[in-house]
Structure 1
Amino acid sequence: MNSKPVPTPIVKTTNLHQNDSNAYQDPVAYRRLVGRLLYLTNTRPYINYVAPQLSQLMANPTTAYFKTMTRVLRYIKGSPGQRLFYGTSSYLQLKAFSDYDWASCIDSRKSITCLYVFLGNSLVSWKSKKQNTLARSSLEAEYKALAATSCEIQWLTYMLDNFRIPFKRPAPLYCDNDPARPIAANSVFHERTKHIDIDCHVVKEHIQSNMFHLLPIKTTQQCADILTKALDPSPFIFLLSKLGVINIYSPACGGGGYWSQVIMLIINSHRILDQTRLR
């Protein structure tokens, strides 16, 4: 309670791995804190990068992992009023941001899939998850992330259709990987893409069905970049503002988007059910 707040949840130079330090003396307390951080990811998407990393070493946590977790707690202490804001004037169109972090896990060398999906200007879905298989190239990791994002857009599209909510199509999907976009538009597969042909077909099929279209974006403007790596305070705060995260204790805060909140509640209920099944 007496610690000083920090501007970011994780230091940029932090590299967590299994044998980085000595074992932590109280693993039960560590697991309890990690569980609470994972619960907070339902309303605080900006800690969804560091919280899953801390959960990877639940059996035998190290002092370095605990030190990283205490920094997350110091960040939360300094921003108790940060929440997602749903505006009443938001237009109904899905838009997504897809990114990846290639071979970022030091222990397994697996890549991380990161995505954000907005309904208008309201963030309704996000994910930062380690990919199931190793990616031999950054292009392969990017296409795995694009395939996961396209499936998320498809699910949300079906949900809106079932609710009979009119929304604008196609959804823009922003990707900052330049080689990935031409491959998605090119119907000819070659030696470079034969190991990711399934993901390529998934993305191409959704593009041809007019579900979404790929658009370029600068890395500095890529919202999903906040889920791929630790950032300095300036870019972290800038990307945080693009997520629609504001201080709810501010007098200027008020209102809420009805349909965005409905979608968010349903997605969170699915997440809680999935976590219950895993337990």
Structure 2
Amino acid sequence: MINLYCGGSKLCVNTLHVLRYLRNDPTLGIYLSKEPNYTITAYCDSNWNACPDSRKSVSGYIVLIGNCPVSWKSKKQTTVSLSSAEAECRAVRKVVGELVWIERLLHELGEGPSQPISVFCDSQAAIHIAKNSVFHERTKHIEVDCHFVRDKLQEGLVTLHHIPTVE
């Protein structure tokens, strides 16, 4: 039995999720390499109109430290996206939000990232929208997501890169 006191922080919630994951099957585990590679990398993707009933998209991401997965999520988006680029922008925003949290956690532990975190996305349109400071009429509905990502780009926390879908 493991007793944890955490005061309701996000770290505690994630710790409890990991412990529940491991408790369900003792043969499961999370691989952590002993190599001193602390490079953080993130991949995100979205499946536009994935749900046949609601036409909502499904977004997902994975965050790696070195070659070890430390955070991942796949979830149906809360609103219907009008385009695949909009769905991808929301996926990028979700992973960047997670990276902000991970960066703060590592900074508190004394191991903050020494370089910008590479975020890989298969949508060139989403990358262009996030990097472009001029909004067009067609992107007003995702303006808040784009501003958040653009702020993190300008702060130097993340860099956005295109990766082909097959990779």
TM range (shorter): 0.7 to 0.9
Instruction: Give the deviation of 1:94 after TM superposition.
Output: 1.4
1:92·1:166 contact (CA, 8 Å) conserved in 2? Answer: no
Question: Size of the alignment, in residue pairs?
Answer: 149
Q: Which residue of 2 aligns with 1:192?
A: 138
TM-score by length of 2: 0.81
Percent sequence identity over aligned pairs:
39
Distance 1:40 1:159, change over 3 A: closer
* Unpaired runs of at least 5, structure 1: 1-37, 44-79, 222-279
**Which one of 154, 159, 169 corresponds to residue 100 of structure 2?**
154
Distance 1:41 1:214, change over 3 A: farther
For the residue of structure 2 that corresponds to 1:220, the secondary structure is coil
- CA distance in 1: counterparts of 2:100 and 2:156, whole angstroms: 11
Q: Which residue of 2 aligns with 1:67?
A: none
TM-score by length of 1: 0.50
1:92·1:168 contact (CA, 8 Å) conserved in 2? Answer: no
Instruction: Give the deviation of 1:83 after TM superposition.
Output: 4.6
Q: Which residue of 2 aligns with 1:93?
A: 39
Instruction: Give the deviation of 1:93 after TM superposition.
Output: 2.0
Distance 1:39 1:85, change over 3 A: closer
Q: Which residue of 1 aligns with 2:164?
A: 218
Matches within 5 A, 1:194-273: 194-221=140-167
**Counterpart AA for 2:106:** L
Distance 1:125 1:105, change over 3 A: same
- CA distance in 2: counterparts of 1:98 and 1:41, whole angstroms: 25
- CA distance in 2: counterparts of 1:107 and 1:167, whole angstroms: 41
1:86·1:122 contact (CA, 8 Å) conserved in 2? Answer: yes
RMSD over aligned Cα, in angstroms? 2.2
**Which one of 111, 122, 126 corresponds to residue 180 of structure 1?**
126
For the residue of structure 2 that corresponds to 1:218, the secondary structure is coil
* Unpaired runs of at least 5, structure 2: 1-16
Q: Which residue of 2 aligns with 1:125?
A: 71
**Which one of 23, 29, 50 corresponds to residue 104 of structure 1?**
50
Q: Looking at CA atoms only, which structure, 1 or 2, has the larger radius of gyration?
A: 1
List structure 1 runs of 4+ shifted beyond 4 angstroms: 38-41, 80-83
**Counterpart AA for 1:92:** Y
Higher strand share: 2
Instruction: Give the deviation of 1:90 after TM superposition.
Output: 4.1
1:115·1:126 contact (CA, 8 Å) conserved in 2? Answer: yes
1:90·1:122 contact (CA, 8 Å) conserved in 2? Answer: no
Higher relative contact order (CA 8 A, sep 6+): 1
